[in-house]
């Protein structure tokens, strides 16, 4: 204030000393008003900035604790073997189906050839069993008809022989009666011959009749014996025919056995074909191909190395299938839900924005999935704001590569 009053004294001399008290308050008031206006302008500017920030930030939640995520496909051989060729290098882009690693196939080719031979042998056995089944069906039907005809014929023969036996017995009885009569007549003729009461011719005639009657009796007895022998033979033939019929009646069982043999041969063929398919599949596994489009990463396989299904040879990172995981604070997700619009800004590409949407929210905070989850019941509780992972999916495939692990900033429109 002293500086402000000294300047007029030097400029105007003693004559203006009486005016100094009136000019000083005027300038002081001007400065006060100017300060007040500046302060009011600053306050207004702050209020406008705050209001604009509130308007811009209202209904939007942001976090820089976010990163690009993607799948890492580990490539392992399906069969054990020695590496013959490695056809890719680190960071090489490949397409689905491209050959990555070639294994030695000599052992697998030998197993495939053996399986093919087993299949051919099983096919031959099946064809033989089918032919045997057809022959069994035809022969069994023919044998059954033949056995039934033989039994009928044998039964008829037995009946005819029995009739002949009855007739032979009747002839023997008649011959015996004629023989007794002839012998009695011959005995009377002998008595009459002694008394010379009969002629010699009559004696000879009666003796001839007696001899003929005896001969007829012997013939009848012989025929009876022959008929009895024929009956016994016919009985044996009947038994044989019955045995043949019994054997022929087992034809359904024989056909069933042949059908079972065909089924067994078919099962063996199916088993051989399955073994062949497995051998062919293992042979195809010797060519390790890319299951998806991606970039080769973490390659550890070299030519001549022995590999197996228990250890990955390399990894593929499909860059076309990426998403963003944003870890929001727990007080930021109250109004957040799937489907809301989101803006992603990746550090690699500066201030370039990628449009997306909230796909899902994790079921628990990230701390719950830690190796050692925090225990708040230990007595020394300190409240720490938890973060919940939120998956943000881009609306369209980006025209620049987004690699898993890149840092990002995510803003979600909750209103």
pLDDT at 298: 92
What is the phi-psi region of residue 59: left when phi exceeds 0, alpha when psi lies from -120 to 50, beta otherwise?
left
Q: What is the mean pLDDT of residues 178-200?
A: 75
> pLDDT, tens digit, for every residue of 73-88?
999 999 999 999 999 9
pLDDT at 239: 66
Q: What's the Cα-to-Cα distance from 125 to each of 120, 132, 263, 265, 381, rounded to whole Å?
A: 9, 11, 11, 6, 79
What dotted CATH number matches 74-103+282-315?
Answer: 2.40.50.100
Q: What is the pTM of this model?
A: 0.56
> pLDDT, tens digit, for every residue of 373-414?
777 766 677 788 899 999 999 999 888 999 999 999 999 999
Task: Tell me: pLDDT of 11 over 70.
Answer: no
CB atoms within 10 A of CB 286: 20
Candidates 241, 237, 184; CA nearest to 209 is 184
pLDDT at 79: 93
> pLDDT, tens digit, for every residue of 225-274?
877 777 666 666 656 666 665 666 666 777 788 888 999 999 999 999 99
Interaxial angle between packed helices 2-12 and 20-57, expressed in degrees from 0 to 180 and rounded to the nearest 10: 130
Q: Is 60 buried (19+), middle (13-18) or exposed (0-12) by CB count in 10 A?
A: middle
CATH architecture of 109-274: Orthogonal Bundle (1.10)
Candidates 231, 237, 234; CA nearest to 167 is 231
Three-class SS state of 322: strand
Phi/psi of residue 99, each to 5°? Answer: -75, 125
pLDDT at 30: 65
> pLDDT, tens digit, for every residue of 343-381?
999 999 988 999 999 999 999 988 888 888 777 766 677
- In a 13 Å sphere around the CA of 201, the CA atoms on its Cβ side amount to 0
Structure tokens at 144: 């059954």
Place of tokens 């109250």: 334
Place of tokens 């023969």: 157
DSSP state of 196: T
pLDDT bracket for residue 219 (50, 70, 90): confident
| Inter-residue contact 270 to 292 (CB < 8 Å) | no
Q: What is the mean pLDDT of residues 80-98?
A: 94
Pinpoint the alpha helices (H) of 326-409.
Answer: none
Task: Tell me: pLDDT of 24 over 80.
Answer: no
Pinpoint the alpha helices (H) of 195-292.
Answer: 200-248, 251-285
Phi/psi of residue 396, each to 5°? Answer: -145, 160
| Inter-residue contact 367 to 374 (CB < 8 Å) | yes
DSSP state of 198: S
pLDDT at 144: 65
For the chain, domain boundaries: 74-103+282-315, 109-274
């Amino acid at each position: 204030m002293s500086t402000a009053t000294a300047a007029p004294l030097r400029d105007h001399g003693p004559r203006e000393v009486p005016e100094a008290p009136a000019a000083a308050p005027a300038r002081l008031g001007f400065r006060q008003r100017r300060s007040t206006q500046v302060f009011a302008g600053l306050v207004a500017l702050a209020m406008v900035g705050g209001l604009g920030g509130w308007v811009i930030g209202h209904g939007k939640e942001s976090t820089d604790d976010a990163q690009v995520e993607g799948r890492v496909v580990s490539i392992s051989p399906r069969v054990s073997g020695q590496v013959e060729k490695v056809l890719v290098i680190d960071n090489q882009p490949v397409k689905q189906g491209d050959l990555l690693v070639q294994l030695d196939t000599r052992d697998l080719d030998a197993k495939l050839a053996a399986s093919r031979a087993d299949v051919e042998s099983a096919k031959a056995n099946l064809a033989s069993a089918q032919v045997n089944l057809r022959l069994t069906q035809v022969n069994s039907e023919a044998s059954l008809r033949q056995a039934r005809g033989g039994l009928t014929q044998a039964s008829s023969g037995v009946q005819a022989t029995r009739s002949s036996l009855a007739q032979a017995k009747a002839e023997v009885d008649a011959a015996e009666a004629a023989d007794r009569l002839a012998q009695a007549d011959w005995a009377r003729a002998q008595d009459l011959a002694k008394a010379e009461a009969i002629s010699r011719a009559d004696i000879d005639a009666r003796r001839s009749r007696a001899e003929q009657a005896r001969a007829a009796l012997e013939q009848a007895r012989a025929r009876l014996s022959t008929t009895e022998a024929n009956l016994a033979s016919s009985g044996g033939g009947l038994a044989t025919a019955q045995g043949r019929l019994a054997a022929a009646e087992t034809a359904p069982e024989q056909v069933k056995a042949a059908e079972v043999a065909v089924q067994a041969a078919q099962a063996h063929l199916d088993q051989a074909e399955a073994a062949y398919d497995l051998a062919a599949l293992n042979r195809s596994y010797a060519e390790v191909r890319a299951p998806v489009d991606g970039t080769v990463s973490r390659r550890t396989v070299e030519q001549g190395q022995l590999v197996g299904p228990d250890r990955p040879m390399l990894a593929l990172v499909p860059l076309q299938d990426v998403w963003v995981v944003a870890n929001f604070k727990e007080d930021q997700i109250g109004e957040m839900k799937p489907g809301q619009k989101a803006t992603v800004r990746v550090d690699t590409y500066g201030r370039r924005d990628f449009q997306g949407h909230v796909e899902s929210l994790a079921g628990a905070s990230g701390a719950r999935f830690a190796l050692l989850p925090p225990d708040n019941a230990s007595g020394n509780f300190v409240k720490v704001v938890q973060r919940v992972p939120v998956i943000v999916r881009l609306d369209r495939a980006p025209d620049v590569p987004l690699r898993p692990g890149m840092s990002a900033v995510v803003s979600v429109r909750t209103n």
